[in-house]
């Protein structure tokens, strides 16, 4: 479906104009259509919601046909690190999308959770039951899942207020010169490739903050780093690693075209999760070891560069939960 309009009045922002004229579409839907390149002004794509319009401008909005998705229970093995009546913590494997949509109709974490758990919160809707936050399809590691709406509200608020601590480990290409630091930028859709995110000029995207610390160095070939998220933007660590000049090893989107390692995806793992129990308020910590492929690569690099792997033995330990 395509909607067409002509500006016949005073100057207005694109999103304001469309919200007044395209009444059948919500503001959030319009924003996504603009950012995804589905809106043209005088035949040219415009991807900034705040773009100014002038009298006589012709606007076209291409609205993709709606797709019907359903999330059904599937008997897919998943590792439950912890669960009680309020929430569960899952160690997601590589290659598994978190929820149904964008071409992922089966085999998602949601499909597996509907089979494995006795309940999930409904705040996320029928396609995202229980989902409080996400990690990329090819990123491994911990996610917290809400089993009822009260828990969902509490957990989502903790993430919003940065009370939920999330720690990742990644193997970066090359030798990172600094030992630790903070990357603070705006992140938004790539100006020419709408499937990618990018660092944008200040004020042009959403603020993204990542703290990092070097864990081990493997000559000038690779650097193992710990990342602590202060915000949770799409592809944040991967984009910030590229911004540092050292993309995540194995990253097919933000990494080098010629990869040194043959992997099925980026070597990025959500290893630690700290949060307050939604009902008791008790602080809890969850850990998940690096996946086998990641461990094997690190062990080979340790042998090659005579690095003592005992320094990060906790990354090879079993999954677990504990109170703080």
Q: Is 136 a catalytic residue?
A: yes
Given 57, 86, 136, 138, the catalytic residue: 136
* Environment class of 259 (CB within 10 Å of its CB; exposed 0-12, middle 13-18, buried 19+): middle
Pairing of strands 283-287, 268-276: antiparallel
268-276 and 140-146: which strand pairing?
Answer: parallel
**Residue 290, Cβ density class (10 Å: 0-12 exposed, 13-18 middle, ≥19 buried):** buried
Residue pair 297/171 in contact (Cβ under 8 Å)? The answer is yes
Q: CA–CA separation, 79 vs 141, rounded Å? A: 10
26/21 Cα distance (integer angstroms): 11
**CA quadruple 51, 57, 63, 64: dihedral sign:** negative
One DSSP character per residue, 289-303 reads PPPHHHHHHHHHHHH
Task: Using DSSP bridges, classify how beta strands 165-173 and 180-189 pair: parallel, antiparallel or unpaired.
Answer: unpaired
Rg (Cα) of the chain, in Å, rounded? 22
Token pair for 203: 């004020």
Alpha carbons 253 and 193: distance in angstroms, whole number: 11
Separation CA 145–CA 278 (nearest Å): 12
Q: Which whole-number Å values give the CA distances from 323 to 55, 88, 147, 187, 275, in the listed order?
A: 62, 15, 20, 34, 10
Q: Angle 205-259-211 (CA atoms, 0-180°, nearest 5)? A: 40
Residues with a known catalytic role: 136
């Amino acid at each position: 479906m395509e909607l067409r309009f002509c500006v016949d009045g005073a100057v207005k922002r694109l999103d304001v104009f469309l919200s007044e004229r395209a009444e059948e579409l919500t503001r959030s839907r319009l924003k996504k259509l603009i950012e995804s390149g589905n809106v043209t002004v005088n035949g040219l794509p415009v991807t900034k919601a705040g773009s100014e319009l002038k009298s006589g401008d012709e606007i076209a909005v291409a609205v993709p046909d709606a797709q019907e998705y359903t999330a059904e229970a599937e008997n897919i093995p998943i590792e439950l690190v912890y669960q009680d009546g309020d929430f569960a913590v899952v160690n997601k494997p590589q290659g598994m999308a978190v929820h149904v949509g964008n071409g992922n109709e089966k085999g998602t974490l949601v499909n597996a959770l509907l089979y494995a758990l006795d309940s999930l919160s409904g705040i996320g809707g029928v396609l995202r039951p229980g989902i409080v936050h996400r990690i990329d399809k090819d990123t491994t590691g911990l996610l917290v899942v809400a089993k009822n709406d009260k828990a969902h509200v509490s957990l989502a608020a903790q993430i919003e207020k940065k009370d939920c601590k999330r720690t990742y480990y990644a193997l970066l290409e090359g030798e990172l010169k600094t030992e630790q630091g903070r990357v603070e930028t705006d992140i938004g859709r790539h100006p020419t490739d709408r499937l990618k995110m990018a660092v944008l000029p200040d004020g042009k995207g959403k603020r993204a903050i990542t703290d990092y610390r070097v864990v081990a160095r493997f000559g000038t070939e690779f650097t193992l780093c710990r990342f602590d998220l202060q915000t949770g933007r799409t592809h944040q660590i991967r984009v910030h690693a590229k911004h540092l000049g050292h993309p995540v090893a194995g990253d097919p989107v933000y990494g080098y075209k010629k990869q040194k390692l043959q992997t099925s995806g980026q070597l990025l793992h959500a290893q630690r999760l700290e949060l307050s129990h939604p009902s008791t308020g008790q602080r809890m910590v969850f850990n998940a070891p690096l996946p086998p492929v990641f461990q094997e690569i690190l062990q080979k690099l340790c042998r090659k560069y005579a690095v003592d792997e005992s320094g990060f033995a906790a990354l090879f330990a079993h999954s677990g939960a504990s109170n703080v």
